[in-house]
């Protein structure tokens, strides 16, 4: 037998009891008496398909790890986590980077928040040619957007992480044969008046090192890359300074932070340098 008892807010179906949805408690909206606002609350570590503008192919598809956050006034106990996912999915099965502003404003509206934050980190791919044989191969980089809406104001930070080769000038100067070299990681973060191509920012970093990296090198290519690095030694300090000179020359870049870390080949520690504008 199936029947319902609606007078007390309970449905009975096939012998089971459950509360009606309209009577479920909304714990998050309850009053909190600790008088402490929360700067950022939300979801992190969500993987989602996105499209990134690509200078060569209009766009490329990739997978981002996403975080979505808002501020929480002191009077509320918690936020509604499901609403972040609703906002993200409401913009389609694939998020376009151009939709970042729309997503931020949608979070503000749906969660009744003054500020909203979005973090989006993803692999970005470039097809590169080996320097001598001209063979194509795909290189991956890490790119990231950190975006904030405060009222109607939008702030977007672009980050790229680029692997490079560095050859030690001191080692070259004091050695009769060769010089030690190593792989390094340079992280460049920028704010800009207009959008800057991810490829262009990667290019600024790669051209500042002893040599760029390739995923495919035949012997003639390896000879070329090795000799190029030997002819262009840079300390970790040189690397960040070289990148910053290029950023200073860009008319649309308003702020930057450049970090470089060399994974030293003859030490058991890494070398590090950083320059931040302002």
CB-based contact 232:172 (threshold 8 Å): no
Look at the block and give the residue holding tokens 């207009």: 194
pLDDT at 1 over 60: no
Query: Could you report the per-residue pLDDT of 103-138, keeping only the tens digit for each?
Result: 999 999 999 899 999 999 999 999 999 999 999 999
Q: Which pLDDT tens digit goes with each residue over 191-247?
A: 999 989 999 999 999 999 999 999 999 999 999 999 999 999 999 999 999 999 999
Q: What is the per-residue pLDDT for 20?
A: 57
How many H helices and E strands in the chain? 6, 13
C-beta separation of 225 from 131 below 8 A: yes
Burial of 168 per CB tally in 10 Å (0-12, 13-18, 19+): buried
Q: At what angle do helices 100-110 and 81-90 cross, to 10 degrees?
A: 140
Q: How confident is the model at residue 27 (pLDDT cuts 50, 70, 90)?
A: low
**Domain residue limits, the chain:** 33-276
The structure tokens 């070299």 sit at 181
pLDDT value of residue 59: 85
Sequence-distant (≥ 6) Cβ neighbours of residue 3 within 8 angstroms: 12
Q: What are 52-76's pLDDT values in tens digits?
A: 988 887 889 999 999 999 998 777 7
* Cβ proximity of 211 and 222 under 8 Å: no
- Tell me if the domain spanning 33-276 has CATH number 3.30.70.270: no
State both tokens at 50.
């996105």
Run of H or E including 93: none
């Amino acid at each position: 037998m199936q029947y319902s008892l609606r007078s007390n807010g309970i449905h009975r179906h096939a012998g089971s009891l459950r509360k009606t949805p309209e009577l479920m408690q909304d714990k998050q909206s309850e009053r909190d008496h600790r008088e402490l606002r929360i700067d950022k609350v939300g979801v992190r570590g969500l993987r989602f398909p996105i499209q990134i503008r690509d200078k060569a192919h209009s766009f490329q598809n990739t997978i981002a790890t996403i975080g979505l956050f808002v501020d929480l006034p002191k009077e509320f106990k918690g936020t509604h986590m499901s609403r972040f996912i609703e906002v993200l999915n409401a913009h389609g099965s694939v998020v376009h980077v151009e939709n970042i502003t729309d997503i931020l404003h949608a979070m503000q509206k749906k969660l009744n928040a003054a500020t909203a934050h979005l973090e989006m980190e993803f692999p970005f791919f470039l097809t590169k040619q080996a320097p001598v044989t001209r063979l194509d191969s795909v290189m991956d980089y890490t790119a990231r957007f950190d975006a904030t809406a405060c009222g109607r104001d939008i702030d977007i930070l672009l980050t790229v992480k680029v692997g490079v080769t560095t050859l030690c000038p001191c080692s070259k100067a004091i050695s009769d044969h060769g010089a030690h070299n190593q792989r390094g990681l340079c992280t460049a973060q920028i704010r800009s008046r207009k959008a800057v191509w991810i490829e262009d920012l990667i290019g600024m970093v790669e051209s500042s090192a002893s040599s760029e990296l390739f995923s495919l090198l035949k012997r003639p290519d390896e000879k070329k890359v090795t000799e190029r690095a030997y002819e262009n030694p840079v300390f970790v300090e040189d690397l960040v300074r070289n990148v910053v000179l290029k950023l200073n020359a860009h008319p649309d870049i308003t702020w930057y932070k450049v970090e470089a870390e060399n994974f030293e080949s003859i030490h058991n520690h890494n070398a590090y340098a950083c320059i931040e504008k302002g």
